[in-house]
Chain A
Amino acid sequence: MLTKRIIPCLDIKDGKTVKGVNFENIKAVGDPVELASLYAQMNADELVFLDISASNEKRKTLSDLVKQIARVINIPFTVGGGISSIDDVRMLLDSGADKISINTAAVRNPRLISEIAGQFGSQCVVLAIDSKRIGQEDHVFLNGGRIATDIKTINWAREAVSLGAGEILLTSMDHDGTKEGFAIEITRAVSEAVQVPVIASGGAGKMEDFAEVFIQAKADAALAASIFHYKEIDINDLKRYLKQQDIPIRI
């Protein structure tokens, strides 16, 4: 039986992990490669690296980093952040990334999705959506959540999948950082609207939140950052808990 995935997310800036990470057995603090391999040993199902650096040297640094990660870890990983062209994608996949995630660039130029899917296959295209509720509707936000659009989240998810996105990474800006649970309603709506897997992100605070997003919101995977980085939740404990709730999980 296909299992639900637990995905730690690492924010990267200039080749280092950004958020203070609270693992005493990490030698080089901020080393994404070491953190990644630790998460792999802890039974994480997959990893997401989000590059938030903005320098011109960024692409070169990122591709070197991706190679180092791909060399060490033996589980799949996605790389995202500022990807805006086929060349960016090729460089990251050639460096050993399994998937790439695109966000703002895909909204600005939806054809990018079909171009990437056509050349490298849908399985490597993760469409990331930053979603926020405005009144009664959920809308897509751009540039790391700074720019509002009038695009409805659910419509964009449907369109992106029809263009070739193989997976949706849905972040609720309303829930992100609150630790009060995932955004159940919009996650469920998107999951029911598209045939591809949906990764829920934003709001994880306790183990019950994961059970809720898998059962109530029908998410296929759940992503979190700080609760894992700060060891508030141990991945193995979380997986054992979810298994006890009869949720299919890889132990």
Chain B
Amino acid sequence: MERAKRGQMKVVVVKYNAGNIRSVLFALERIGIKAHVSNVDTEIRSADRVIFPGVGEADSAMRYLKERKLDLLIPTLTQPVLGICLGMQLMCRYSDEGGTPCLGIFDEDVKAFPIGDLKVPQIGWNEIAQLRSPLFEALPERAYMYFVHGYYVDVSGYSIARTNYGFDYSAALRKDNFFAVQFHPERSGGWGEQILKNFIYSKNLNS
């Protein structure tokens, strides 16, 4: 049963070696949620919401997940799951970063930004657009979010938001109960916090 009342939602942030977990915890605290950090199967399974954050490098992150069998757990979760940045990339099939096979939730590959005129990594505030999910309830059609990444995922049927850095690519993905964002809502000001609120409190996530 949904415990949608403020403060009673059990939110678990997946613990692994790709921090910055603390900024996610603080952002949740600002919207009234005290989350648990865990890499334990039963604790993650019993959560109302699971957040899979991450900054860092794909190959070493996947190795950690495999050592703890989290690579088998995460794709079988049934509650809403939100991947952030590297978390989103790890939910795809394969990453160019370190030639890493990933979790395969989204049948998409993660590619390196082409070498050219653009600075890589992309660091800074960029607009997200074509928002198509209850995850973005109350947001304007274009909103600035903070991005830090050197790899990207193409636009596809999974895309629920796009951004443009030289070309259009996925700013957010969705498949069933799995949501994922390339930017950092925990560091994206008020609209970023709104996305976290929507993820935790929205009753329409299944629509």
Contact = CB atoms under 8 A, between A and B. Distances in A.
A74 B30 contact: yes
A75 B26 contact: no
B22 interface: yes
A123 B165 CA distance: 17
Interface stretch (A88-96, A139-147, A149-157): A88-96
Nearest to B165: A2
A16 interface: no
Interface in B116-135: 119-127
- Provide the main secondary structure of the chain B interface: mixed
Nearest to B17: A119
A241 interface: no
B26 A70 contact: yes
Interface in B174-193: 184, 186-190, 192-193
A197 B113 CA distance: 14
B12 interface: no
Interface string A48-70: 00000000000000000001001
B7 interface: no
Contacts of B115: 195
B187 A3 contact: no
Nearest to A95: B22
A110 interface: no
Contacts of A131: none
Interface string A1-45: 111110000000000000000000000000000000000100001
User: Which one of A74, A75, A76 has the greatest number of beta carbons of chain B within 10 Å?
Assistant: A74
Interface residues of B, number: 37
- Provide the main secondary structure of the chain A interface: loop
Nearest to A96: B22
Contacts of B124: 2-5, 45-46, 197, 220-221
Contact of A74 (B19, B144, B165, B187): B187
B205 interface: no
A209 interface: no
Contacts of A46: 124
User: Which one of A40, A96, A220 has the greatest number of beta carbons of chain B within 10 Å?
Assistant: A96
Interface of A: 1-5, 40, 45-46, 67, 70-71, 74-76, 93-96, 98, 118, 120-124, 166-167, 195-197, 220-221, 250
Counting from the closest, the 4 A-B pairs by CB-CB distance are: A96-B22, A250-B125, A121-B56, A250-B144
22 contacts: A1-B164, A2-B125, A3-B125, A40-B189, A45-B125, A70-B26, A71-B26, A71-B30, A74-B186, A75-B146, A75-B187, A96-B23, A96-B26, A118-B57, A120-B19, A121-B55, A123-B121, A123-B150, A166-B123, A167-B123, A220-B123, A221-B124
Given A93-B19, A197-B124, 18 more contacts: A1-B127, A2-B125, A5-B124, A74-B27, A74-B186, A74-B193, A75-B146, A76-B146, A120-B55, A120-B56, A122-B150, A123-B121, A123-B123, A166-B123, A196-B119, A196-B121, A220-B119, A250-B144
